[in-house]
Structure 1
Amino acid sequence: MQIIDLHCDHLYKLQMQQLDLELDTSLERLRQGRICLQAFAIFVDPQIPANQAFAMAEKQIELFHSNVINQPGIRWIRTWNELHQLTDSEIGVFLTLEGVDCIGNEVAKLEKLLDAGVLSVGLTWNPANLAADGCGEPRAAGLSTFGKQIVTLLNRRGILTDTAHLSQAGFWDVMELADFPIVSHANARAICDHPRNLTDQQIRLLIEKQIPLHVVFFPPFITGTNHATIDDLVDHIRHIVKLGGESILAFGSDFDGIDKKVEGLEHAGMYNNLIDRLREEYTEEQVTRFTSGNFTAYIDRMLKKETEDQE
């Protein structure tokens, strides 16, 4: 069983804690968990002063080069076309951007990050920025003119627009504007009423448009408390599937970005505990769709659309 994970904060954790670091997504643990493709987020705390933020983002890219892609058996995925070039013995890795705070109001800085290999961009973290309101902003507005300009750029470049962390209004704006939207790490609000989770109305739109929803492993988004079991996480999966989401469900653990863990799912090497539990309830074909098939099918549709548009 090969697993795709759309979110971890390995690079931020490296940047903040260089010494004696035990990573949830170390190469050993990725191999143990049978991860075939792992997204590595660039995340800069929005509280970092603007004149320092972009340099911190660039430093995380340096850490990606010096600590991730130089390891044996790792293949850097720089374009979505390279996804199917992965061999069974390789782990694919790619860059994402979690919040555009680090670019200020300079689109050229975002272009630089895309040129460096970023394949998915989330407009916000929890607060508001110049592009949009995050889910923690009381104003709860949608995308600004600048945010819409960013989505247009991402469409042109064939980059995913990630709605995780956006306000609900921002989510709906992205769904209207983005050619290739995605949800990298969120759960079902009907099961856990948290602003980071999605309503059934939002999930039904994802199902209608066949846009992947990657469930996240952070207990406050699973149970609303600091404790959660694999069964609690499966409650969210079951709910999404009952809404009709078998063809969109996927994983975005948030490993290395969370300080509270699901019992029995504390790092990437423990993914098999979740897979074994899913096999009790779903067929092998369904579980394979959750672990990798739904995301790869979405990317294949994206590439097909790009080819058709060019013709």
Structure 2
Amino acid sequence: MTRPIIDFHCDALSKLLLDPKLDFSKDRRLDVNLRRLKKGGVKLQTFAIFLSQRLGPPKMEHILGQIDVYQERVQPLGVLPVQSVEDLDALEQGEAVGGLLSLEGADGLEGNLHYVRVCYEKGVRLLGLTWNYANWAADGIMEPRNGGFTPAGLELVRLCHELGIILDVSHLSVKGFWELQQLAEEAGKPFIASHSNAYEVCPHARNLRDDQIQAIIKLGGRIGVTFVPWFVKEGRSASSKDLLPHIERICSLGGGANLMFGSDFDGIETHLTDLRHSGHYANWQESLLKYYPEELVRGWLYDNAAAFLRAWLPSHK
């Protein structure tokens, strides 16, 4: 039996923007397309707005361009936009696949907080503060100086807390992580790491240290275990089985109820050998059930992420 799945990160919109000929309904050049989402049992897919370097300097017009792609080439195929608790309710009561918009990196906002409000009005509900390097708001995890937030970045955090935009630390510097942790604790607003694994299992800079995992757990946030091979295992090719030590590590730190998945499909050229696109999620969940009880697996696949969204998406009531 296929269980519903929430995937908290993919980069299909960036590919669709760069290649107008791609067909989201079934194009095999997309790791995530509608046919594969349905085959894999993905009920809700988060679509990241990632501004490729091929577009030139990041601008607000590029963000709006990807939102247009989502509205014109994804939604009309029957993908239900999820922007509120009521939308999530409607999604769960029907047969449609849902879509949630995330902005990966504040670069394209150009330091203009008015643009943040525009993004919110257009349905963006998650914000990854940086990509790997520095921008006007904060330093990314690959920035050599490992700085934190700028004054403008702190204003961005406050505005996101005010609007109800969920913040994502997956590419944020370590210093920035701890600055945000303090702000989030003061505001009572948890954050997520949409696509990061456990550093103690695979010591890649993009993965989370134990104390970071514990901080997210304490705040009631979520951690999306990701399928990026070089975040999963050092050296040669990796398979889905190599994700299990990351799951074990997060659970050993108390994060069984905080764990979800964020594939990063369409953001990677190399894949896990047996988890190459969203259609393979069906096999992945069956693999998980060989090692873990049904209730835990359901939590990781759907319930943990859904409970978080139910708590932190806006409600129209």
TM-score by structure 2 length?
Answer: 0.91
Aligned residue number for residue 288 of structure 1 = 298
Q: Which residue of 2 aligns with 1:42?
A: 49
Contact 1:76/1:93 (<8 A) preserved: yes
Q: Does 1:91 align with 2:97?
A: yes
Which residue of structure 1 aligns with residue 20 of structure 2? 18
- Of the structure 1 ranges 205-214 and 117-126, higher mean CA displacement relative to structure 2 is found in 205-214
- Which runs of structure 2 are paired with 1:273-284 in the superposition (5 Å)? 273-284=283-294
User: How far 1:234 sits from its partner (Å)?
Assistant: 1.4
Report whether the alignment pairs 1:104 with 2:110.
yes
Deviation at 1:46, TM superposition (A): 5.8
How far apart, CA to CA, are the structure 2 residues paired with 1:207 and 1:118?
A: 24
The counterpart of 1:271, out of the listed 257, 275, 281, is: 281
**8 Å Cα contact 1:219/1:228 also seen in 2:** yes
Q: Is the contact made by 2:222 and 2:305 (CA closer than 8 Å) also made in structure 1?
A: yes
Residue of structure 1 equivalent to 2:257: 247
Q: 1:82 aligns with which of 72, 75, 87?
A: 87
Structure 1 residues 141, 260: CA separation in 2 closer, same or farther (over 3 Å shift)? same
Question: How many Å separate the matches in 2 of 1:300 and 1:102?
Answer: 28
Query: Does residue 201 of structure 1 match 2:203?
Result: no
- Given candidates 5, 16, 40, the residue that maps to 2:7 is 5
Task: Write the letter of the residue equivalent to 1:15.
Answer: L
CA contact (8 A) 1:125 1:134 kept: yes
CA distance in 2, matches of 1:250, 1:151: 24
Alpha-carbon distance in structure 2 between the residues aligned to 1:146 and 1:63: 29
TM-score normalised by length of structure 1 = 0.93
The letter of the residue matching 1:84 is D
Partner of 2:166: 160
| 1:255-266 equivalences in 2 (<5 Å) | 255-266=265-276
The aligned amino acid for 2:175 is A
Q: In the alignment, is residue 238 of structure 1 matched against residue 248 of structure 2?
A: yes
In 1, are the aligned partners of 2:8 and 2:262 still within 8 Å (CA)? yes
Partner of 2:226: 216
**Superposed displacement of residue 47, structure 1:** 7.7
Greater shift, 91-100 or 103-112, is seen at: 103-112
CA distance in 2, matches of 1:36, 1:194: 30
Matching residue's letter, 1:11: L
Structure 1: which amino acid aligns with 2:65?
K
Q: Is the 8 A contact 2:192 2:221 kept in 1?
A: yes
Q: Is the 8 A contact 1:192 1:222 kept in 2?
A: yes
Deviations 1:180-230 (A, max 9, x none): 311110000001101100001111112222211001100011113462111
User: Residues 149-179 of structure 1: CA distance to partner in whole angstroms, max 9, x if unpaired?
Assistant: 1111111111101111001111111222232
SS in 2 for 1:291: helix
Instruction: Please list every run of 5 or more consecutive structure 2 residues that lacks an aligned counterpart in the other structure.
Output: none
SS at match of 2:198: coil
Corresponding position: 1:33 with 2:59: no
Paired letter, 2:34: L
Unmatched 5+ stretches in structure 1: none
Give distance in 2, aligned partners of 1:131 and 1:279: 42
Q: CA RMSD in A?
A: 1.9
Percent identity reads 37
Comparing 81-90 with 177-186, which one deviates more in the overlay? 81-90
Corresponding residue pairs, total = 305
SS in 2 for 1:70: helix
* 1:272 shift after superposition: 1.7
